Chain A
Amino acid sequence: MRKILKIAGREYIETVKTKTFIFGMLMTPLIIGVLIVVSSKMGDTSGRRLTVRVAVADLSGELSALIEDGFAKYNDSHRNRQIRVIELDCDLGFDAAEEQGKEKLRSGKVDACAVLDEDIIDGSGKIRLYTHKPKASILDALWAAESILREAVVDRRYEVVDIDREQVAKLRHVPTEQVEISLGAGEQVQSKGQRMAGMMVPFFFMYLIFMGMVGTGQHMLSSVIEEKSSRVIEVLLSAVTPFELMGGKILGLAGVGLTVVSLWGGGAYGAAVWQKLEVDVSLQLMVCFIVYYVLGFMMFSALLAGTGSICNTIKETQSLMMPVMMIFIVPLMAWFKLVQSPDGSLSRGLSFVPPLTPMVMVLRMSAGSEVGSGEIAATMALLLATVILVMWLAAKVFRTGILMYGKRPGLREIVRWMRQS
């Protein structure tokens, strides 16, 4: 056991003090922060932008004033993004107007063309929008033009049935206020940010598990490959058993992962407190988080140790790891669904897929699901059994693979190694 700890200690120190680790560790939150700030600044789109030209053919002939009005209002409120309307001649009917608009589009005289049917007001016609290779930078203007045209039609419909649109809007308007009360005295209005935070906490926890497992797992690959390619491995194996070596590596890197997770978690918690967001994290969740993380990491890193041992270069490992990584993408893609129904059959099902158990269970628990202690115990037991199985098999592959150079063994050969006593 002392040898395992010694190896773990070296693995931890050597990993933590590498430049890539320190850089990734500090830079990732920094980059995320910068992205958030930048994207919030992006919202107000300063700087003059292209004027977008929209050709409009109003075959109903009743809307031109309303359309003009709508675009004028838009242009007044969007100083840096103007939309110019070019009215098309509608005297010759739909086909001619449509053809005229398409011609202008193809020749690049306009960016979009809209043809409103003659019977648009009574509800049977429609607005047709034509574009020709639209640039991504004018998409927002195209959406705006579409909604201005639609509003113009709706306005006209109110006029036709003689109902005051503003009156209706007033009738439909019911102010609401969401209040989150705290345990103590005093109540506070729940800010939008608070609700967002509530939504994001489960995702953050799941992401921490993901980063702790997958991000740290990469170090396992590079560590094994380095020892293999520098031929230090035989010297090591003259002093320790392959199992001690693998165990030490897993333990050391699990420590690295816990460091990352607690620093990021702590940082995020600090940021939340600083922003006066209440994040409710129970002790039970914390304990389960750590247990799930450690078990998940042991399974994943044992898998990586086995994989690394049969490869000679990092490049080789990447092609082998691709399918494994795809599995971990599942909860990242489906997280919203899982948060919405943490006790649904999808959530429950994925909880019992061992590679996903840590991510899904932590997501569910932090999403406020009353996951029963029976289910926690069952998933942990299944995960533990898988960890033991994977480590047992990985140790056998590791034992043989670590001393093999040259051609990578085939699947059949690896299965043979696993069967060896």
Chain B
Amino acid sequence: MNAVTISRVCKSFGSVRAVDELSVQVPAGSIYGFLGPNGAGKTTTIRMIMNILRPDSGSVEVFGNGSGDKRRPAIGYMPEERGLYRKMKVQKALAYFGAIKGLRGPGLSGRVANWLGRVGLADWADKKVEELSRGMHQKLQFAVTAIDEPELLILDEPFSGLDPVNLDLIKAIILEMRNEGKTVLFSTHVMDEAQRLCDRIVLINTGRVVLEGSVEQIRRDHTADVVSVQLGGDTGFVAGLSMVAGVIAKDNRLEISLADGCDSQDLLQALIGKTPVLAFEVKTPSLHEIFIKEVGAGNA
């Protein structure tokens, strides 16, 4: 079962094609990351999932629902541009958004109290929104998004502006919600967070999918390229091996880039017998490195 199915969606603004034949499937019950440089089309895609924008072509389904009005109730959405009524009190704001999302009565007041506690704003319940610090505002915004505990949370850049403590708090809540069976989709260009949190990611650039899959799989797919070795004897011959594309000496190690189509195990075979191999490590690149490699350092 997919929480979100995006099929060949296109969206242009004037002459700029923001999203170009994009297809993505977000499995239900997963934490899914939309990665990409600024201007890649992440927010536009998210707005199309929310039916705030309509695709020029292609289709979007949320839990099998194609109609915008039907899919809205299943989603809690935190836009990139945070916004709440500045003069409203914290508790009132939560209650108001809970009410327009269809909660009512004791259920609503229970949720309000619960979420105030969960994001650590219980002591600020009677303060006005404009009195909150940026981090607190962010947490309140998150609580507003999650107040009706929707099946799908869509968070646009949820970690921007959070200090490490609040960052961990929000991440913990996201994991809790996933464990409760909810689906969380978020966009970010902070790769470390995505690597730690996401089950699957899609990497988008200029409105197209560059990479898609589970974080583990993607990292494994990119492993074979670089090997870090520590050799006991002379290292001069290494650069001359057929499977080696480049060698960089780092401290007492060598970082060897493999030539296209070569396997790290062949390299190991070639090394053994010529020189003692003290350490041999196939480097698993971080998402950050993959991102830079795929998108280009200029965009990172």
Contact = CB atoms under 8 A, between A and B. Distances in A.
Interface of A: 2-3, 6-7, 10, 14, 227, 230-241, 403
Interface string B69-83: 100100111110111
B81 A231 contact: yes
Interface of B: 47, 50, 52-53, 69, 72, 75-79, 81-87, 96-97, 99-102, 104, 141, 144-145
B102 to A, nearest CB: 7
A7 B81 contact: no
B297 to A, nearest CB: 30
Given A6-B100, A230-B85, A237 B50 contact: yes
Contacts of B78: 235
Contacts of A233: 83
Given A234-B52, A403-B52, A240 B81 contact: no
Nearest to A403: B52
Nearest to A7: B100
A236 B85 CA distance: 11
Q: Which 8 residue pairs across A and B have the least CB separation, nearest first?
A: A231-B83, A238-B77, A232-B83, A234-B79, A231-B81, A239-B101, A239-B100, A230-B83
A219 B53 CA distance: 27
Nearest to B84: A232
Contacts of A10: 96
A238 B75 contact: yes
A239 B97 contact: yes
A237 B83 contact: no
Contacts of A235: 77-79, 83-84, 97, 141, 144-145
Contact of B100 (A14, A230, A234, A240): A240
Given A403-B52, A403-B53, A238 B72 contact: yes
26 contacts: A2-B102, A3-B100, A6-B99, A7-B100, A230-B83, A231-B82, A231-B83, A232-B84, A234-B81, A235-B78, A235-B79, A235-B84, A235-B97, A235-B141, A235-B145, A237-B50, A238-B75, A238-B77, A239-B72, A239-B97, A239-B100, A240-B100, A241-B69, A241-B72, A403-B47, A403-B53
Given A230-B83, A235-B79, A238-B145, 20 more contacts: A6-B100, A7-B100, A14-B85, A227-B83, A231-B79, A231-B82, A231-B83, A232-B83, A232-B84, A234-B52, A235-B77, A235-B97, A235-B145, A236-B100, A238-B52, A238-B79, A239-B72, A239-B97, A241-B69, A403-B53
A232 B86 CA distance: 9
A399 to B, nearest CB: 9
A135 B83 CA distance: 58
Contact of B77 (A6, A230, A234, A241): A234
Contacts of B102: 2-3
Contacts of A14: 85, 87
B145 to A, nearest CB: 8
A293 B77 CA distance: 38
Residue from A3, A6, A232, A235 with most neighbouring chain B CB atoms (10 Å): A235
B50 A238 contact: yes
